[in-house]
Chain A
Amino acid sequence: MKYGLANKLKTKDEAYDFTSVINELRSYYFQDNDQFHKELERKMSVEMSNGVKDAFTRSGLNAKAFLDDLYGELMSIKIIKLTLAYKPTDEETARINAWLSENRGEITLIDILYKKDIIGGAIIESQGKIGDYTLSRMLKSAIRKNLNVKRLSNG
């Protein structure tokens, strides 16, 4: 990720909002860089607009080419869907993001769903694959296994 902006995005919703703004700006005509900067400040948070301005300056491209390039980069970001039994704080979400960045070697965003029934652990979905690593599944599996063993031993 050459612009490094994806690192500032923590969740899929944040990425979706940011990508929508960038896509919208691609259709604008900017007479000069000041007008582009003012539009960035109007459309997004201070932190994000500053990040985009820095990236734009470093790119050496005009506003239109930069926005197209940035949009392409954002569209290539991988998203992992996590179903959790609790609602993580921003700090806890950041820790999960850090683990993913460290272990996947590419920018990955998480889409978090909350489902108390799973007790603990997570259901993880990524690019069509699903893994159930929840305490609920382990528990059900253990109970069913015990019942089956009993059933077989009793004929």
Chain B
Amino acid sequence: MIEIETSLFYIIIFLTVSSALLLIGVLILYLNLVRKYIVVQEARQKAEINEQEAVRQRMNEAYRKADAIVQESDNRAKVMLASTENVVNEIKQSLAREFEQISRGYDAYYKEIIDYVKNEATEVVQSTKKDISATFGEEIATIGKNLGEQFSQSSEDFRKNFEAAYKRLEDDLLTYKKQRMQQIEDTLLDVVNEVLTNSLSRQISKSEHQELVIHALEKAKKEGVI
């Protein structure tokens, strides 16, 4: 009876120690699992932050390049304007020489001036406009390509935002192009008009002035102005 109780005692002790060791093992495994989970979470957060930073850098880079392209376009337009003025000056000298040789007959005189303006001066405007159109077309295409490359790796949301930004940029460029062409046209018109004014003023005699005034009065009478 006493031997049985001793054996039972040892068995109970063994089972108790085994259970305690098992619990400790499970606890260690759990703690390891929690630690790994935390590490993985941290790594994920870090990766997300890095990804956002990378996208932001690409956005900034794209804006910087787009800005550089616009600046370059502006510089080219200025150079073209300067070269246009040179061409206009050449026309100015050429016109002055032409007018020295024009006869005093009014109809022929006026017709020659208009023909000259039609054949020479407007050609300058149109060729300049074509140059500018071609240049700006290239610029816009470059910006589009550049932005496309930059954002092909970005998320869909960022792509949409940048497509909108690109559209605005494109609209701005088109407005800019239109204004520049109008500026060139106005400049040319002013110069041609100034040259013609000076040339004609020198060549109209007093008697011709008098005839023009009487002609104006007759026309005003017909139109009911007087």
Contact = CB atoms under 8 A, between A and B. Distances in A.
A84 interface: yes
Interface stretch (A20-28, A37-45, A65-73, A113-121): A113-121
B138 to A, nearest CB: 18
Contacts of A134: 216
Contacts of B196: 119, 139
Interface in A70-103: 80, 82, 84-86, 88, 92, 95-96, 99-100, 103
Interface stretch (A10-18, A47-55, A140-148): A140-148
A96 B225 contact: no
B200 A120 contact: yes
B114 interface: yes
Interface string B204-223: 10101110111111011101
A60 interface: no
A26 to B, nearest CB: 31
Interface in B146-197: 185, 189, 192-193, 196-197
A121 B223 contact: no
B225 A139 contact: no
A20 B214 CA distance: 31
B213 A84 contact: yes
B225 A122 contact: no
Given A121-B215, A133-B219, A143 B193 contact: yes
Given A84-B213, A117-B197, A120-B209, A103 B117 contact: no
Contacts of B223: 131
- Chain B interface: which size bin? 35 or more
Interface stretch (B20-28, B35-43, B58-66, B118-126): B118-126
- From A95, A100, A146, name the one whose CB has the most chain B CB atoms within 10 angstroms: A146
A100 to B, nearest CB: 7
Contact of A146 (B110, B118, B216): B118
B224 interface: yes
A129 interface: yes
A76 B185 CA distance: 48
Contacts of A147: 122, 125, 185, 189
26 contacts: A84-B209, A85-B204, A85-B209, A88-B209, A88-B213, A96-B217, A103-B221, A116-B201, A119-B197, A122-B216, A124-B226, A129-B225, A131-B220, A131-B225, A133-B215, A133-B216, A133-B219, A133-B220, A135-B200, A139-B113, A139-B193, A139-B197, A143-B189, A143-B193, A147-B185, A150-B126
Interface of B: 110, 113-114, 117-118, 121-122, 125-126, 129-130, 185, 189, 192-193, 196-197, 200-201, 204, 206, 208-210, 212-217, 219-221, 223-226
Interface of A: 80, 82, 84-86, 88, 92, 95-96, 99-100, 103-104, 116-117, 119-122, 124, 126, 129-131, 133-136, 138-140, 142-144, 146-147, 150, 154
